[in-house]
Amino acid sequence: MKFKALLLLGCIAILSLGCKEHGQEKEKSAKRPPNILFIAVDDLNTMLGSFDGPARTPNIDRLAAMGVSFTDAHCQAPLCGPSRASVMTGLRPSTTGIYGMIPDDKIRSENPATKDIIMLPEYFKQHGYHTMGIGKLFHIHSPEDMFDDSGGRVKGFGPLPKERFVWDGFGTSDRKKYGKTSTDWGAFPENDSLMPDHKSVNWAMERLNRKQDKPFFMGVGFLRVHVPLYVPQKWFDLYPLDSIKTMPYRPDDLDDVPVVAKMINDLPMMPSTDWAIESGEWPKIIQAYLACISFVDYEIGRLLDTLEKSEYADNTIIVLWSDHGYRLGEKSTFAKHALWNVATKVPLIFAAPQLPKGKKIDRPAELLSVYPTLLELADLPAYDRNEGKSLVPTMLGNDEKPSFAITTFGMNNHTIKSERYRYIRYEDGKEELYDHKNDPNEHTNLAGQQQYNQEIDRLKSLLPKGNAIWDQNSSYTFQPYFVEQKARVNGLSKETRKPTEADK
């Protein structure tokens, strides 16, 4: 009996010690800083299901239900390179002069505004995080040493068929000078497994299943929805052509915009809306774009599934964003490259343990806020060089001040989105104003009508006070206007070079 009693007491002691150690481990885990899952999607506009769009996006919708969606968020530049440079540096294009494409390793090289800047993943690395990244995060991937564990980025936007299906840049009068777009659309390849984005998610999933000894920052950058609009046939099958609705379009829509706006919108390598109507390709382009969105949504679902099954599920902050919007026939073409709403508006979603679930905020927000918002959510010190504001107070319902978003495209060309209006001011002082309450498609330019002068003055006061000259390593040779503007404002001879890898 004594032996049995001693044995029982011993078992109780062992169980008690085990419970105590488990409790300590649980407490230790609870105090561990949160992980960051940073999801960037290329060229994604707001056609998502959770944003009341036509795309079938059950997984992004699931993420939206987990957190807070900003349904009126805007990029700082409607072009991949300068937009991503702004997100990662936390600085406006008007501060850095990065108005066009720029090689990742040149962001800090000779620019007085960025030469000593701490970039977003780097800030987490300096605060004890293990940084990981794969795919398109910066324009190509990242500067050197930004990630402790890097999967790199597949070059280009393949895989590609032997010959293009539809668009080969025809209509372009000077392809040698301005290059040739990757734009094309059709079902290719046969399987998801052949897509670089699928392989990127495999890489990320494998690391989410590893034991991580430190809090981690993981960036996953998707190449789609960037052109060419190629994904396997099954994604096209979700959108029968007879179900496709084309965008609101008026052939005379550009009649009331300034000449400089038409110069910026001069995109000789892109399909025009008139061509798409005449050729019957307009519904097919939209079908392909939606198919690409659903493919990316599926891959994001694989990522979320793995996270939710991992030990990091309850202690990971997620942000999903796109570098800019995309026009699908609005304002005469199929492209980003403009200061109008469809080109600047992006999805922006945050999910974190301390945030509300399933909340939508229909107030202007900026991608510039991603950096400071992640720092506050992770309880890290604010970085005083950030020009954006944290969105945490807004998400928690503690900031009801009027909000606005500024987008810049080239030196001294800005647009301001307020809660009702969009105001655009170009380098020559010409203006556009649109009332989104009555004209959400921006068909009627109200600038010049006296009754709106007070509103224009109010919005004009929010314009950036300084406008840096073009960074010498930044350019965009696909649009004649920007070649000429950079040469003019920097006092250079007119550029005639061929596009570089940064342009592509």
Residue-wise pLDDT tens digits, 270-301: 999 999 999 999 999 999 999 999 999 999 99
130 included as an active-site residue? no
User: What pLDDT is attached to residue 153?
Assistant: 94
Give the pLDDT confidence of 63-102 residue by residue, as tens digits: 999 999 999 999 999 999 999 999 999 999 999 999 999 9
Identify the three-state secondary structure at position 21. Answer: helix
Give the pLDDT confidence of 3-43 residue by residue, as tens digits: 555 555 555 555 555 555 555 444 444 578 999 999 999 99
Confidence of residue 177 (pLDDT cuts 50, 70, 90): low
Residue 322 has pLDDT above 70, yes or no: yes
Task: Kindly report whether the global pTM for this prediction surpasses the value 0.95.
Answer: no
Query: H helices within 217-331, ranges in order?
Result: 233-236, 259-264, 273-279, 282-309
Average pLDDT over residues 466-474: 95
Q: How far apart are the first and last CA of the chain?
A: 82
Q: Distance between CA atoms of 392 and 377, rounded to whole angstroms?
A: 7
The sign of the dihedral angle between the CA atoms of 77, 78, 80, 84 is positive
- Strand 405-408 versus strand 414-417 pairing type: antiparallel
Confidence of residue 168 (pLDDT cuts 50, 70, 90): confident
Domain range summary for the chain, segments of one domain joined by +: 34-405
The overall average pLDDT reported for the chain is: 91
User: What pLDDT is attached to residue 31?
Assistant: 73
Q: Is 34-405 in CATH node 3.90.230.10?
A: no
User: What pLDDT is attached to residue 15?
Assistant: 53
| The one-letter amino acid at 16 | S
Q: How many CA atoms lie within 13 A of 470 on its CB side?
A: 24
Residue 207 has pLDDT above 70, yes or no: yes
Catalytic-role residue among 130, 139, 141, 337: 139
Identify the three-state secondary structure at position 9. Answer: helix
Q: CB neighbours of 215 closer than 8 A, spacing ≥ 6?
A: 32, 33, 34, 35, 128, 129, 130
The percentage of the chain sitting over the pLDDT mark of 70, rounded to a whole number, equals: 89
Higher pLDDT, 1 or 70: 70
Q: Distance between CA atoms of 473 and 502, rounded to whole angstroms?
A: 10
Catalytic-role residue among 74, 75, 80, 226: 80
Give the pLDDT confidence of 434-467 residue by residue, as tens digits: 999 999 999 999 999 999 999 999 999 999 999 9
22 included as an active-site residue? no
Q: Distance between CA atoms of 352 and 375, rounded to whole angstroms?
A: 12
